Copies of this chain bind each other. A is one copy, B any other.
């Protein structure tokens, strides 16, 4: 069995599964089963919206007790309706769903949107019913959105397979177009409403609910390929399938569409609430962070942040590194903005000396650094504003953040400020003008018209600009390459390897071992010690003993072959008394090492993402501060270097406080090797940990001092019904 590595298809190769979603998201005809004549009821709204917005396909209300529904001819049952229907909406009680699905199949319908709730979100009983729904849909080749969904709509195609309440007001069309995919119906509707209030052009909304069939990642992939979507916004409670999720992220990156995601359930309390709400497994939060980072998706912490970032993206202008100039009318605001920028990793490079000189002449009392303090003097001499902005543009800043507070409403300065901003907007359309200001709608409007980004709170402006810089970085580099793992050995399933065997596996993965010997007798041990020729350690080797030192199975710094022989003799006698039944495979005689930095390299067998590499440094850093970083396996050496640099403690490797710099390239090679071994055995690897992995000074490599490998059947090894359409 091949490990679960996401294939990155070539541009032309859109998976067939994605195209099968067209019937859901671009239906040419829709049957509404259980259609209501009341346009405000759940089963009435899709018809009302279709009529209001001018859906161009056919709508077939199915209702046994009415001849018309909202003025459309109704059909007593699906059988009576015309053939060739693309998509059916089911809004019936749970007990009728399976039968209705079969009727859909009989009618040749390929797509169903199942509004009904009362399935897996209720627990065990509902889960069984939902599995039956999934089976029925799959047996008949039906793609199914739901159950427990609000549905989906696409404004520019005028398709409304949804009862989303927000559509009762007028939708703002526009560009760039936003595709919103949410696992939660309620929260999806909320973000949608907020986006509309901000005037953001949401063109598509899809809620995936319980995901009995169509999953979040598939919808992302579909939106990535859809001409109607420029920016993808997502709301995640828990992802069900790694492959489709990564494929969705990769597709969006390939199409250069920014992805802005919220993933809730970050904390234990949150995860508990998530588990009671959906049937999804909430993956460990750090691992989501690592995956999203790797695939270039922006993770927002709140809907406010989602919308701020999307709003900034909507300006359609990138923020290149070190090109942001800041001008304020208050030194205090400048200090704050500098603080925020520093925390967000956004550089504010100082202007060249000539520009500083020019700025000093413009405002002698101000500050010519970046942020430039134009001071409150601007209300006496409004010309300061234009002169400052021109100086910054001349110096090459092509993104300007202005903190103007209430100044745009100032009687003297308001006009000149507006004219300057409008002039720059007209002559330098490449320049992004972001303004932190306060004032009523009439003051704000001209700046909106000029294409400025407006934020009241400078913190939020900085956060949004940092997101633009993030995406600029994301799209300037390819997604990480996954190295080939076919050459790696396949482990035996269901085995606890002893230390010596575990280390042999590491050696196959290219991880250096100490110059140690596995011995059986005191005499062999003395001989090994003699050949090593310096102080040694002796460790018992047994797959049945996990904590060797707890049972007296470790002895350090033995200086003479006699002491080594005596130690082995003592262990061979004492350990079987302490751990009756443990099979002792022998003893390792290893040279004592000095001068290394101890690291831990582990593999976490994540039930969703499969083998995930963990790296950390030094005992307390891992144990107390949890200073560790994660990355999906397999990694190449560049990916491993990135992983190493993401822990705070990595400074210990680079010659910290007079210590010699450690052999970081060798460490990266070792991590990459271990990651390939882990990926090759994704379906069976339960635990792999090298602790400590000792990193020697530059040029001297690394040594795996201890290792644990355990195999079994991972969750990934179970056949997943989610993958048949991947």
Choose among B266, B302, B338 the residue that contacts A269 (Cβ–Cβ < 8 A).
Answer: B338
Query: A720 in the interface, Cβ–Cβ < 8 Å?
Result: no
- Chain B residues, CB < 8 A from A375: 186
A158 CA to B339 CA, complexed, in Å: 37
* Inter-chain contact B237/A335, CB cutoff 8 Å: yes
Which 6 A-B pairs give the minimum distances between C-beta atoms? A186-B330, A277-B331, A184-B332, A270-B339, A187-B332, A267-B342
Knowing A197-B438, A264-B336, A277-B373 are in contact, say whether A406-B190 is a contact too (CB < 8 A).
Answer: yes
Whether the pair A341, B269 counts as a contact (CB closer than 8 A) is yes
- Which residues of chain A in 459-501 are interfacial with respect to chain B, using CB atoms and an 8 Å cutoff? 459-460
Segment with Cβ contacts to B, from A22-30, A48-56, A573-581, A615-623 = A615-623
- The reply to whether A165 and B410 contact each other, CB–CB distance below 8 Å, is yes
Q: Which of B274, B301, B332 contacts A183 (CB 8 A)?
A: B332
Contact of A460 among B165, B266, B304, B406 (CB under 8 A): B304
Q: List 7 additional contacts besides A40-B411, A190-B405, A264-B336; criterion CB under 8 Å.
A: A187-B336, A269-B341, A270-B336, A270-B339, A277-B367, A302-B459, A304-B460
| Docked pose: A329 CA to B188 CA in angstroms | 12
User: Bound state CA distance, A270 and B266, in angstroms?
Assistant: 30
A268 within 8 A of B: yes
Number of copies: 2
Q: Is the Cβ of A338 less than 8 Å from the Cβ of B272?
A: yes
Is the CB of A194 closer than 8 A to any CB of chain B?
A: yes
Shortest Cβ gap from A206 to chain B (Å): 15
| Chain B residues near A657 (CB-CB < 8 A) | 623
Q: Are A376 and B339 in contact (CB under 8 A)?
A: no
- Scan A321-341; emit 1 where CB is below 8 A from any B CB, else 0: 000000011111111101111
Question: Is B121's CB under 8 angstroms from A365's CB?
Answer: yes
Main secondary structure on chain A at its contact with chain B? helix
Distance from A697 Cβ to chain B, minimum over Cβ atoms (Å): 18
Query: Which of A190, A194, A276 counts the most B-chain CB atoms under 10 A from its CB?
Result: A190
Which among A122, A338, A410 has the greatest number of chain B C-beta atoms within 10 A? A338
Once bound together, how far apart are the Cα atoms of A657 and B624, in whole Å? 10
Asked if residues B304 and A335 are in contact (CB atoms below 8 Å), the reply is no
Closest B residue by C-beta to A409? B165
Query: Could you write out 29 A-B pairs with CB less than 8 Å apart?
Result: A40-B411, A121-B331, A122-B365, A165-B410, A182-B332, A183-B332, A184-B333, A186-B376, A186-B405, A189-B406, A190-B330, A193-B405, A197-B438, A262-B336, A265-B335, A267-B338, A267-B339, A269-B341, A270-B339, A273-B331, A273-B367, A273-B369, A274-B335, A620-B649, A624-B627, A624-B651, A624-B652, A625-B625, A625-B648
A648 and B627 alpha carbons, distance in the complex (Å): 12
Judge whether B369 and A331 touch: CB under 8 Å. Answer: no
A457 at the binding interface (Cβ < 8 Å): yes
Tell me the A315-366 residues at the B interface (CB within 8 Å): 328-336, 338-343, 348, 364-365
Q: Which residues of B contact A136 (CB under 8 A)?
A: none
| Cα–Cα distance between A117 and B375 once the two chains are bound (Å) | 11
Q: Which of B301, B331, B369 contacts A459 (CB 8 A)?
A: B301
Which residues of chain B are near A100, meaning CB under 8 Å?
Answer: none
**A333: nearest chain-B partner, CB-CB:** B187
Given A194-B456, A331-B277, A625-B627, check contact A338 B270 (CB 8 Å): yes
Interface, chain A (partner B; CB < 8 A): 40, 117-118, 121-122, 165-166, 182-187, 189-190, 193-194, 197, 235, 237, 262, 264-274, 276-278, 301-304, 328-336, 338-343, 348, 364-365, 367, 369, 371, 373, 375-376, 379, 405-406, 410-411, 438, 456-460, 618, 620-621, 623-625, 627, 648-649, 651-652, 656-657
Is A193 within 8 A of B620, CB to CB?
A: no
Q: How far does the alpha carbon of A88 sit from the alpha carbon of B287 in the complex, in Å?
A: 64
Bound together, the chains give a CA A621 to CA B625 distance in angstroms of 8
The docked-state distance in angstroms from the alpha carbon of A328 to that of B117 is 17
Known: A190-B330, A272-B338, A438-B193. A621 touches B623 (CB 8 A): no
CB-CB under 8 A from A235, the residues of chain B are 332
Report chain B residues within 8 Å CB of A262.
Answer: 336
The answer to whether A118 touches B184, judged by C-beta atoms less than 8 angstroms apart, is no
- Docked Cα-Cα span, A620 to B369, in Å, equals 36
> Complex: how many Å from CA A190 to CA B334?
13
Contacts of A457 in B (CB 8 A): 302-304
The distance in angstroms between the C-alpha atoms of A291 and B64, with both chains bound, is 73
Cβ A264 vs Cβ B332 within 8 A: yes
Q: Which residues of chain B have C-beta atoms less than 8 A from A301's C-beta? A: 459
C-alpha gap A109/B656 in the complex (Å): 61
Contacts of A197 in B (CB 8 A): 438
A189–chain B nearest beta-carbon distance, Å: 7
Shortest A655–chain B CB gap in Å is 13
With both chains docked as a complex, state the minimum distance between the C-beta of A365 and any C-beta of chain B, in angstroms: 6
Q: How far is the CA of A182 from the CA of B411 in the complex (A)?
A: 24
* Alpha-carbon gap, A341 to B301, bound state (A): 13
Complex CA distance for A352 and B501, rounded to whole angstroms:
53
Q: How far is the CB of A337 from chain B (nearest CB, A)?
A: 8
| CB-defined contacts of A340 to chain B, threshold 8 Å | 302
A338: B residues at CB distance < 8 A: 267, 269-270, 272-273
Least Cβ–Cβ distance between A228 and chain B, in angstroms: 24
Q: Which residues of B contact A379 (CB under 8 A)?
A: 165
Min CB distance A249 to B, Å, is 20
Q: Which residues of B contact A270 (CB under 8 A)?
A: 335-336, 338-339, 342
Give the residues in chain B near A656, CB-CB below 8 Å.
623-624
Complex Cα distance, B270 from A476, in Å, reads 29
What distance in Å separates the Cβ of A274 from its nearest Cβ neighbour in chain B?
A: 5
Contacts of A624 in B (CB 8 A): 618, 621, 627, 648-649, 651-652, 656
